[in-house]
Structure 1
Amino acid sequence: MSAARASSVRRSLASIVLGFELIVVFLATLVIFGLSDLPPWVTLGGGALLCLIMVATLGLLRFTWAYAVGWAIQVVIVATGFLNPAMFVVGALFAGMWTYCMISGSRIDRQNNAA
């Protein structure tokens, strides 16, 4: 298990995106709960589980494998668009931000390590 550098720009950007995404997922859970015909335990339980996974991932970003979990979270959030079509847009926006932050953060970290 390799650990990422403590002052990594990629880690900082990932935590910012996941933190804001956590708030949006919580609010989206409440919207889907109010608008869908799914049983409440499915909607609220699924949203709570996704929020817990996101919080755990925030704490585990010191490990490189946690970034793969972050990518999986992006896929799941885009897939919630099947429950509420607006989540396709929200998920795509956050997936785009995640992609940009991973690419830019990695590039900046490489430049900082080379200097």
Structure 2
Amino acid sequence: MRTLCSSTLIGEFFIIGFAGLVAMKDPDLSMTTVWTVCGIAMFLSVVLCGLITRPGGVAMGWGLQGLLILAGFVVPMMFFLGAMFAGLWWASVHYGRQIDAAKARFAAQGGAASADAPADAV
């Protein structure tokens, strides 16, 4: 799960940066505000890569997905991109857990098979 979720978060890192470039064109927003918000969100996406397997890591990832969708009020294209990345996040979590479970089953079967093998069968 960690690999899939981290890949999604790194993709979001770049999307947040590009959204910041678009938001800079808005005359109502100061460059300081845009890059403070984008910088925090970009930092959060990178930090979450390391927190995925910790308790609450997936929930914080869902929070970031919600923030990306809400960014659509500033950059309208973020409604679409935020929803797309929320779908990717769901797929990363869902299929990542299935892959982890399959790996655990495979390791358990491999461990049992190697314990049953004769000592000279290497």
Does the TM-score normalized on the shorter chain lie above 0.5? yes
Q: CA deviation at 1:64?
A: 3.3
After superposition, the C-alpha distances for 1:12-50 in whole angstroms (9 at most, x for unaligned) are 000101011101111111111113512222211111111
The reply on whether 1:11 has 2:5 as its aligned counterpart is no
Partner of residue 80 from structure 1, selected from 60, 63, 71: 71
Distance (whole Å) between structure 2 residues aligned to residue 94 and residue 61 of structure 1: 16
Q: CA deviation at 1:53?
A: 1.1
The question of whether the paired residues in 1 share the 8 Å contact of 2:2 and 2:49 is answered with no
Matching residue of 1:57 = 48
Larger radius of gyration: 2
- Judged with a 3 Å threshold, the aligned counterparts in structure 2 of structure 1 residues 98 and 36 are, in CA distance, closer, same or farther, namely farther
Q: CA deviation at 1:91?
A: 0.5
Q: CA deviation at 1:67?
A: 1.5
Aligned residues: CA RMSD: 1.3
Matching residue of 1:27 = 18
**Paired residues, number:** 106
Runs of 4+ residues over 2 Å off in structure 1: 59-62
Aligned partner letter, 1:56: V
Question: What secondary structure, in the 3-state scheme, does the structure 2 residue paired with 1:35 have?
Answer: coil
Q: CA deviation at 1:66?
A: 1.5
Aligned partner letter, 1:83: V
Aligned partner letter, 1:60: L
Where do 5+ consecutive residues of structure 2 fail to align?
A: 107-122
Give the TM-score normalised by the residue count of structure 1.
0.84
Where do 5+ consecutive residues of structure 1 fail to align?
A: 1-9
Question: What secondary structure, in the 3-state scheme, does the structure 2 residue paired with 1:84 have?
Answer: coil
Question: What secondary structure, in the 3-state scheme, does the structure 2 residue paired with 1:55 have?
Answer: helix
Instruction: Tell me whether 34-43 or 80-89 shows the greater mean CA deviation.
Output: 34-43
Structure with larger RCO (C-alpha < 8 A, sep 6+) = 1
The reply on whether 1:46 has 2:44 as its aligned counterpart is no
